[in-house]
Amino acid sequence: MKSALSLAVIVSVSVRTSPSPFMATSNNNQVPNGEEEVITNSSRHDESDHHPHQELLLSLPKGYGWGVEDLYYFQGFWCPDNRVEAVIALQRDFEAHDTDTIIATVPRSGTLWLKSMAFAIVNRTRYPYQGDLSHLNFTNIQSPRLLSTHLPYPSLPESIKNNNTNCRIVYLCRNPKDNFISLWHFLNKRSLAKRTIDATNDHTPAQLPLEEALDLFCNGVSMFGPFWDHVLGYWKASLERPETMLFLKYEDIKKHPKSHLKRLAEFLGHPFSVEEESEGVMEEILSLCSFEHLRNLDVNKYGQGTLSFGNKIFFRKAEVGDWKNYFTPAMAERLDCIIEEKLRGSGLVFQNSLD
């Protein structure tokens, strides 16, 4: 295949967690072996920033953090304490480039999947297939930058949202019931990993029962939530500025992956040529970016980011409708009613299955 992206490049789009609200998968300073460089370097500020930060935290509403860490209500959303200072630094210092692409998601909505597809689309002609490309130096990857965030739309830096930049935003969301189940599993795995590492600490949080987690979610208390505010912020922005904002749903991509990959490529300014389509480039990218392929990469099976748990916990089922294996009818009705009320009049609806 003449122009398809190689396996080695896809390996570089692995997961990493950090206190920063922004991460990069393609820029001038990419870290090799799949590690993503933190864009916002709030650590550069001196210790004098520490006390104002603590004072700010004390002034914020505090919520139970799903058995992992406490959450603070800041700028209309819930986030861990180490994200608050990072968000402030990001809003103060970040300058968007016209060639930037921002991948924005609610946590546990297919973030890595979308990042992989976007990276493959933008870079597919840079790295033609040549067999083993493990010798390539990924530290010199140039613009365009591919950045990712879970921040709600109102909290993005102004340089991204104003009309003075052609910076693109691609947003991906998921049915709230599947999103909730995936988040619940993920955070319980994090909690388990933390207890395993810190077994002598009696204060290490226990796993959170499903019913308690649903109570929190339905009250809007979730990572970067409320869920409905997060999706509505980007949904409304996509209606107001469709030329620079693309709104995608997880279920739609799962049902029609090829047409949505083509749509994404056109939005990013890298459409597939007739020759590429005939040569099967789209099919190759979809295969390289598939859940099974990404999950089985060594960097995701055995690698570890900046926190104590391995990358493998970022991968579970990637199924649509798995919520049916956990929700009682009453639980489903409760969340459905809340979502219907919150989204009423917006035109935004979610699928419960691929049928």
Q: Tell me the catalytic residues.
A: 150
Cβ-based neighbour number of residue 220 at 10 Å? 19
Cα(284)–Cα(277) distance, integer angstroms:
10
Sign of CA pseudo-dihedral 63, 66, 70, 75: negative
Question: Could you tell me if residue 112 is left (phi over 0), alpha (psi between -120 and 50 degrees) or otherwise beta?
Answer: alpha
Q: Could you tell me the sign of the dihedral formed by the alpha carbons of 340, 239, 283, 317, in that order?
A: negative
| Residue 39 CB contacts under 8 Å (≥ 6 apart), including other chains | 20, 22, 23, 24, 27, 90, 94, 147
d(CA 58, CA 241) in angstroms, rounded, equals 37
